[in-house]
Structure 1
Amino acid sequence: MAPSEALSAKKAFKRRLQEGASSRKKAKTRHHTADDLPWKTVSRPQEAGLDGDDGILELEEVEGVEVVYEETDGGRVARFKVIVDENMDEAPTEEHPTEVNEEKHDESPISLEEETIPFNSTELLPEWHKYSLHPQLMRAIYAKGFLSPTPIQAASLPFAHAGRDIVGVAQTGSGKTLAYGLPILHHLLSQPRPPQGKKRQVRALILAPTRELALQVSSHLNNCINHIEADASADQISKTEPKKTKSKKKGKGNETAEKPPPIPKSPPHVSVAAIVGGMSAQKQRRILDRGVDVLVATPGRLWDIMEDDDGLSKEIKNLRFLVLDEADRMIEAGHFAELENILRLTLRESKNDQIPAEFDGLSGNEDEDDDTQDEIKDSLQTFVFSATLSKDLQRNVKKHSRPKGAGKYGKRNEKPASTLDDLLLRLDFRDPDPEVIDLSPVGGVVSTLKESKVECLTADKDVYLYYFLLRYPGRSLVFLSSIDGIRRLMPLTELLNIKAYPLHSQLEQRQRLKNLDRFKSTDNSVLLATDIAARGLDIPAVDHVIHYQIPRSADSYVHRNGRTARAMRTGFSMLMCAPDERRVVRALLGSLGRQDTEIPEMSIELSLLDKLKYRVQLARKIETMQHKIKKVNHDRNWMKETAEALEIELDSDFVSDDDEEKPSNQKRKAKDAKSAALKAELRELLSQPLVMRGVSTRYITSGSRPIVDDLIAGEYNETIVGLKRVEAGNDLTTVKKKKKKMELVKQEYEEWGGIDL
């Protein structure tokens, strides 16, 4: 080969090697002659300026070969190095030269976008087939057992595929997350895989009102993506010949084991990340620096990061998808002021408002980038989903309503009449007529939910709650309106041997997630929570929702009830109504277009309340004594630590008063003995089973309430002897029957003697 030919061939070889250098491992080399190599013809570069007669008529190149030069006695000689993979069973020899052709090259791992694994949705998912989702999404849906779409998904998917903006209202637990998540994932999976090493741009932003909801949405979407990636890796392994390696264990049965070859890790096709408060902001910034496709965030933390990250703000301006989950909560007055700043970035700018760049028009590539950004920004698709979108439901029922026409802003009431009007003012829908899909149930309650109420004094709510938890075991979610109420109930539940976990805004995020996981994994447990747990959380198998304190608005009542009876499962909710809360309950149900008489009362075994009331009173006494001791010690230690930190000495009068307040050893021993006696008495009571009146503990076949049949059938209550194990909703029909029976008895007595019952 002439030197000019070798030089041209060398350039072609190096170009080919540089393209595949990133994916090649360490390789062995072996010298070959030029005739042994499988050459193939390539087009001649026109910029070379070579003539057909005087120069090279055609160029040839070969893959996996590098040209090197060696100094010999005869001068400089070109040699060829063939790249050989270490994973090959044997190195190439002169008799068996390495073949570097297209078929050999195709045995490398196939990326997801190069080969989409087919899925027979016509037979496996016939109800999903008409929506033409990405095959990999179909595989994930089938693996999760979602054989048919929910009503909100079936109604929104056609409009989402058509590029329409959607405002969806549907009951809690109806699958709203996938209603907007599937169109986003379908679009991103249909795009080419982002090149490795290039930062991903945020193309979808999902805003949620609470941290737990944002983490849950991110987890749902990641589960779909992780399932896709896992399936692809499994298919790659099945297509590759497994290697046989001998087992290192000695003895019988030492057979060859098949070990699949390692699959090189590649970045996921779609990246989903959550940005919420209460977690390390530095770690979240590093995630954003690497780049994500779908960003799920709470407005507060997202705005904090955006203030120090101009690049993220530019990405938000050029979003492809914008989602507001539980939108009515986020646009309430006084909530999430940062949301206004974030949504302002998504507004379209007129050409007159745009500030020209300092170096516009320097190159044609910049103009193309600007056109691309404008196209992306103009194609923004907005999804808004919630279970309630009504101003009447958000009105505080504990405050007196203003007279009509007065308004907050004086005579000219410019406040929007509905939540949808608020959305139209705050969001810049690209669709001139967004599609509104309202599938909310009548009265705000799903058909599988059974409601009830208990009328009792405020001081007796602890006793009724304790009775309910013993009578109907299961996962119970108890809602309170204040954090102080949770802190008061927590010691009582611990003393009464009830597994209870708190959830409120003053807990650290790590502790909140830990308590949620404990509640999900424990069958018979209680979660004492404020309204931060009322929205969006998908906790599996919540049996009961108890409104220990009446919610302030009807939408909170709807969202609280939505934690149970999800995905067409049965559920139960109970209102604990004190005499001073009856007016609030009437206003609450009036906002839903219902009457308070529509909710039946629970059946209560009054004979048990006296026994349970004494237990609760003992627990209160113990908790009060412990709280006083803790408070005195806390105040004393705080004062001393503060004085030491300020390097000051406490006044002698304070020290003397402090010493006087200290109980003597005799008094302290007396208090400890009293507390120990109360704890021993409570433990003794808790160790004894509760026995219904009329039950004989000695002879189970006698008494006015024989329990032998229930014991044989296994339908007995484990904590209360003499009661059957039934669901909470089944006793509501018994209440109606008792009322009818009392009315009949009353009529008979009046006919006989006019006795007033």
Structure 2
Amino acid sequence: MLLSKKASLKRKLKSSSLNSSRKKSKVVPVGVDELPWKTLTRPSVSGVEEDVGLLMLEEVEDVEVVYEDTGSGRFAKFNFKGKAPQVVEDTPEGGETTRAEITDVSAESQKLSDEILENEGSEEDTFDTDALPNWAPHTLHPILLQSLHRRNFTDPTPIQAKALPVALKGKDVVGIAETGSGKTLAYGIPILQYILSKPKTKSNDKRQLKALILAPTRELALQVSSHLKACLSTPGPTEKSDDAGAPRAKGPPRVSVAAIVGGMSAQKQRRVLERGVDVLIATPGRLWDLLSEDDSLATQLKALKFLVLDEADRMIETGHFAELDNIVRLTLRQSREDDNDPEFLGEQRDDEEREIADGEDNEDGGKDELQTFVFSATLSKDLQKNLKKAKRKGVNRKATASTLDELLMKLDFRDPDPEIIDLSPEGVFVSSLKQSQVECMSADKDVYLYYFLLRYPGRSLIFLSSIDGIRRLSPLMELLQLKAFPLHSQLQQKQRLKNLDRFKSIPNSILLATDIAARGLDIPAVDHVIHYQIPRSADVYVHRNGRTARASREGFSLLMCAPDEKRILRGLLSSLGTLDSNEIPDMPIEIDLLDKLKARVQLARKIDTAQHKVKKEKHDKNWMRETAEAMELELDSDFADSDDGAGPKRSDKHDSKNAQLKAELKHLLSQPLIARGISKRYITSGARDIVNELIDNSHNRTMLGFKHSDARTDLVNYKTSARKRKAKPEASVEETEEWTGLGS
């Protein structure tokens, strides 16, 4: 039915165009092919050979290009400066058509074009729900169902199954679920469902902001944007996708999604907001900067339909709370200014209950209420109880336990009883995560880390608490020929995204990151999470571990604990209430190999120190020289002599020493690492039998004498063997098997 209507509209438009071409006597061509092009001869000095390069040159006079911004993008139009060329055709009656008639025909054609635009994409508005039976109860839009089917999301995750029924009914939702559980679509699908169910926006109408999603980090905001864009259309067999993996829509998008983050062009982001967007994903800092310059955007925030706080507990930390608090104030109802008046509180609560009971609709066809979503992986039980209390009964917000409690109590929940969905796993961590620890001195952490990376190759995410630690460790990893990429807040945004993409695409790569990578990032197939430095809070520790063991995958977490960090670790685990530091098993380490690796690490440190010293000296000299030139001063003879005379000699001496150290390190890296018990001359005469491992290619590539295994398996086997050794000799077979079962 829809297809026939669309074809009928196109036939009408074609007929209208033919009739108008017969009636019009004067036409101003606006198409590129209709412009009065003139062919020119090619200059002999153009440097282009006769049969290669340019085929011909053309030019057109008295034409200017005018760019027009519309809701669907920026388009070019051609206007004639001088006298426009005329195409004269006699009408059937031999007369000429008036300008009013031409205007009427153009208006009719524009009307038909708008009708076709409204019916464009009708082929995508149908979907067989039998293909996704588990999504059928939610009655989602066909475009969403097609996207879910294309991405093989056949079943909703637990948080989606719990949140979607209440969210689609318009209730406020506070969701707590483990990392990698699908929280983005849990709040994203209701937003997209609401917008897709509304009539399409015409190309010349500016879109009004309907949903604001606040995220703590730039990477998370861009990730949410790409996920939502991927849910909006299904490409055909020849249609390409954009850089984010989302299909490119033909013509204006059904739903406009934009990300506003720091580190990118603010001017370009302003142009995006001027055109209008439906869903805006932003970090608080950049959004507040744009709000300070754009009153129209602040006005749109007051009329929001959806407000989402993703990873809310992260945004209340230092440097985020001020901007977030200011943005949240813009979403409050005007009457909230008088919420200290008890009589007003009672009257407003009665008014709200009557509005909910009456179900008064606004001009968009929905209730004139803001729907709020708050999602996180950690949320205190006390806060959940506070949110369940009546919002208008004089709750003392200043007496709340934490800043997060204060923030959520400031949110203007339109729902008097927000839905609390707590799916956090028992024991805080998912069952597919295995944890281990290594106790060592702070100076030996580099050696133990190097051992683990060689022993268990894979995609490893190493967390450090300081940027200086990353800057010290990054060149060390490079000298040891490991593929390591830094990620911290002082890198440019393009470099941060580039390093993140490299880590995702390169196997056996390493990401050295601060806690900006601990929240919400969906990095596929992270094998190991290594806590090089112990975090200072339990929620950060939970979120760090959440980067692995995502979406029912197995994961491994390693704690590197120095003696001065034991007290911090005990306090951190005791606050979780589920683990004790003595219950985390120790990682098995081959001590004999550590001495060989220590020589490599110490040599790499010497090279890095020497290189850093040379760089610092050059930087100081260049700074001194530039400062003297700027102040029009002459440097003294001592500085000039050291720079021109002894300087090059000392530089050559440093270069030769560094080259010697690098050659020595290269020689050490080329030597094989052989475990104890293996004969270097005869591989069959050692204490360890490695012949079968070499034949079936199951040996470790960097350490001869070990099988190619993962850290989880070795940890379980180590625990099992330790329990067997501790078992009493008189213990029965059943008791021994019970001990080993506990280890697995």
Q: Same fold (TM over 0.5)?
A: yes
3-state SS of paired residue (1:681): helix
Task: Tell me which residue corresponds to 2:378.
Answer: 388
CA contact (8 A) 2:437 2:558 kept: yes
Q: Structure 2 matches for 1:652-667, cutoff 5 A?
A: 652=636, 655=639, 659=642, 663=646, 665-667=648-650
Is the aligned partner of 1:212 residue 2:196?
no
Task: Tell me which residue corresponds to 2:551.
Answer: 567
CA contact (8 A) 1:389 1:419 kept: no
Rounded to whole Å, the distance in 2 between the matches of 1:264 and 1:546 is: 41
Q: Please point out which of 313, 318, 322 is paired with 2:303.
A: 318
Task: Tell me which residue corresponds to 1:752.
Answer: none
3-state SS of paired residue (2:712): helix
CA contact (8 A) 2:361 2:367 kept: no
Is the aligned partner of 1:489 residue 2:497?
no
Q: Tell me which amino acid in the other structure corresponds to 2:376.
A: S
Per-residue displacement from partner, 1:663-691 (whole Å, max 9, x unpaired)? 55554433322221111111011112211
Q: Please point out which of 389, 410, 415 is paired with 1:426.
A: 410
Task: Tell me which residue corresponds to 1:529.
Answer: 513
Rounded to whole Å, the distance in 2 between the matches of 1:265 and 1:678 is: 59
Rounded to whole Å, the distance in 2 between the matches of 1:454 and 1:619 is: 22
3-state SS of paired residue (1:225): coil
3-state SS of paired residue (2:632): coil
CA contact (8 A) 1:705 1:722 kept: yes
Task: Tell me which residue corresponds to 1:416.
Answer: 400
Is the aligned partner of 1:221 residue 2:205?
no
Is the aligned partner of 1:292 residue 2:274?
no
Q: Tell me which amino acid in the other structure corresponds to 2:143.
A: Q
Q: Please point out which of 604, 608, 612 is paired with 1:623.
A: 608
Rounded to whole Å, the distance in 1 between the matches of 2:193 and 2:587 is: 48
1:198/1:20 Cα in 2 relative to 1: closer, same or farther (>3 Å)? farther
CA contact (8 A) 2:459 2:508 kept: yes
Rounded to whole Å, the distance in 1 between the matches of 2:379 and 2:433 is: 21
Per-residue displacement from partner, 1:432-491 (whole Å, max 9, x unpaired)? 111111111123211111100000000000000000000000100000000000000111
Measured after TM superposition, the shift of residue 76 of structure 1 is 11
Q: Please point out which of 676, 686, 690 is paired with 1:703.
A: 686
Per-residue displacement from partner, 1:144-172 (whole Å, max 9, x unpaired)? 01111111000000110110000000000
CA contact (8 A) 1:601 1:735 kept: no
1:293/1:673 Cα in 2 relative to 1: closer, same or farther (>3 Å)? same
Q: Tell me which amino acid in the other structure corresponds to 2:369.
A: S
CA contact (8 A) 1:463 1:613 kept: yes
How many residues in Structure 1 have an aligned counterpart in Structure 2? Answer: 611
Is the aligned partner of 1:600 residue 2:585?
yes
3-state SS of paired residue (2:700): coil
Q: Report the identity percentage.
A: 61
CA contact (8 A) 2:284 2:320 kept: no
3-state SS of paired residue (2:125): coil
Q: Please point out which of 152, 160, 163 is paired with 2:159.
A: 152
1:116/1:617 Cα in 2 relative to 1: closer, same or farther (>3 Å)? closer
1:23/1:343 Cα in 2 relative to 1: closer, same or farther (>3 Å)? farther
1:665/1:639 Cα in 2 relative to 1: closer, same or farther (>3 Å)? closer
1:642/1:595 Cα in 2 relative to 1: closer, same or farther (>3 Å)? same
CA contact (8 A) 2:285 2:320 kept: no
Q: Tell me which amino acid in the other structure corresponds to 1:613.
A: K
Q: Please point out which of 198, 211, 221 is paired with 1:191.
A: 198
Task: Tell me which residue corresponds to 1:275.
Answer: 260
Per-residue displacement from partner, 1:593-618 (whole Å, max 9, x unpaired)? 02112211100011100000000011
Q: Please point out which of 477, 489, 499 is paired with 2:461.
A: 477
CA contact (8 A) 1:378 1:430 kept: no
3-state SS of paired residue (1:389): coil
Q: Tell me which amino acid in the other structure corresponds to 1:506.
A: Q
1:351/1:339 Cα in 2 relative to 1: closer, same or farther (>3 Å)? closer
Task: Tell me which residue corresponds to 1:57.
Answer: none
Task: Tell me which residue corresponds to 1:118.
Answer: 126
1:742/1:604 Cα in 2 relative to 1: closer, same or farther (>3 Å)? same
**Bigger Rg, structure 1 or 2:** 1
Is the aligned partner of 1:171 residue 2:186?
no
Q: Tell me which amino acid in the other structure corresponds to 1:390.
A: S
Could you tell me which runs of 5 or more consecutive residues in structure 2 were left unpaired when the two chains were aligned: 1-8, 25-88, 240-247, 340-359, 384-395, 732-744
Q: Please point out which of 108, 122, 136 is paired with 1:129.
A: 136
Is the aligned partner of 1:671 residue 2:661?
no
CA contact (8 A) 1:113 1:192 kept: no
CA contact (8 A) 2:361 2:368 kept: no
Measured after TM superposition, the shift of residue 374 of structure 1 is 10
Q: Please point out which of 696, 705, 716 is paired with 1:733.
A: 716
CA contact (8 A) 1:392 1:591 kept: no
Q: Tell me which amino acid in the other structure corresponds to 1:466.
A: Y
Rounded to whole Å, the distance in 2 between the matches of 1:278 and 1:578 is: 36
Rounded to whole Å, the distance in 1 between the matches of 2:413 and 2:159 is: 20
Task: Tell me which residue corresponds to 1:60.
Answer: none
1:164/1:742 Cα in 2 relative to 1: closer, same or farther (>3 Å)? same
Rounded to whole Å, the distance in 2 between the matches of 1:264 and 1:332 is: 38
3-state SS of paired residue (1:612): helix
Rounded to whole Å, the distance in 2 between the matches of 1:232 and 1:110 is: 24
Measured after TM superposition, the shift of residue 334 of structure 1 is 5.1
CA contact (8 A) 1:505 1:532 kept: yes
Per-residue displacement from partner, 1:511-539 (whole Å, max 9, x unpaired)? 00000001101001100000001001001
Measured after TM superposition, the shift of residue 318 of structure 1 is 0.4
Q: Please point out which of 569, 580, 602 is paired with 2:564.
A: 580
Measured after TM superposition, the shift of residue 283 of structure 1 is 0.7
Rounded to whole Å, the distance in 2 between the matches of 1:216 and 1:105 is: 36
Rounded to whole Å, the distance in 2 between the matches of 1:667 and 1:391 is: 64
Q: After superposing the two structures, state which structure 1 stretch, 625-634 or 692-701, moved more.
A: 692-701
Could you tell me which runs of 5 or more consecutive residues in structure 1 were left unpaired when the two chains were aligned: 1-16, 33-65, 85-99, 235-262, 355-369, 394-411, 749-757
Q: Tell me which amino acid in the other structure corresponds to 1:378.
A: D
Task: Tell me which residue corresponds to 1:408.
Answer: none
CA contact (8 A) 1:457 1:579 kept: yes
Task: Tell me which residue corresponds to 1:58.
Answer: none
CA contact (8 A) 2:114 2:202 kept: no
Task: Tell me which residue corresponds to 2:316.
Answer: 331
Task: Tell me which residue corresponds to 1:692.
Answer: 675
Per-residue displacement from partner, 1:173-224 (whole Å, max 9, x unpaired)? 0000000001111111111110111110110100000000000000000111
Task: Tell me which residue corresponds to 1:378.
Answer: 368
Q: After superposing the two structures, state which structure 1 stretch, 104-113 or 473-482, moved more.
A: 104-113
Task: Tell me which residue corresponds to 1:347.
Answer: 332
Per-residue displacement from partner, 1:283-304 (whole Å, max 9, x unpaired)? 1111111111000000111111
CA contact (8 A) 2:400 2:406 kept: yes
Q: Tell me which amino acid in the other structure corresponds to 2:258.
A: A
Measured after TM superposition, the shift of residue 638 of structure 1 is 1.2
3-state SS of paired residue (2:175): strand
Task: Tell me which residue corresponds to 1:37.
Answer: none
What value does the CA root-mean-square deviation take over the aligned residues?
A: 3.8
3-state SS of paired residue (1:350): helix
Measured after TM superposition, the shift of residue 136 of structure 1 is 1.5
3-state SS of paired residue (1:126): coil
Task: Tell me which residue corresponds to 1:141.
Answer: 148
Task: Tell me which residue corresponds to 1:180.
Answer: 187
CA contact (8 A) 2:213 2:282 kept: yes
1:459/1:29 Cα in 2 relative to 1: closer, same or farther (>3 Å)? same
Measured after TM superposition, the shift of residue 695 of structure 1 is 1.5
Q: Tell me which amino acid in the other structure corresponds to 1:384.
A: V
Rounded to whole Å, the distance in 1 between the matches of 2:699 and 2:336 is: 75
Q: Structure 2 matches for 1:53-92, cutoff 5 A?
A: none
Rounded to whole Å, the distance in 1 between the matches of 2:611 and 2:164 is: 57
Is the aligned partner of 1:681 residue 2:671?
no
1:652/1:460 Cα in 2 relative to 1: closer, same or farther (>3 Å)? same
3-state SS of paired residue (1:438): strand
Per-residue displacement from partner, 1:295-323 (whole Å, max 9, x unpaired)? 00001111111111111111111001110
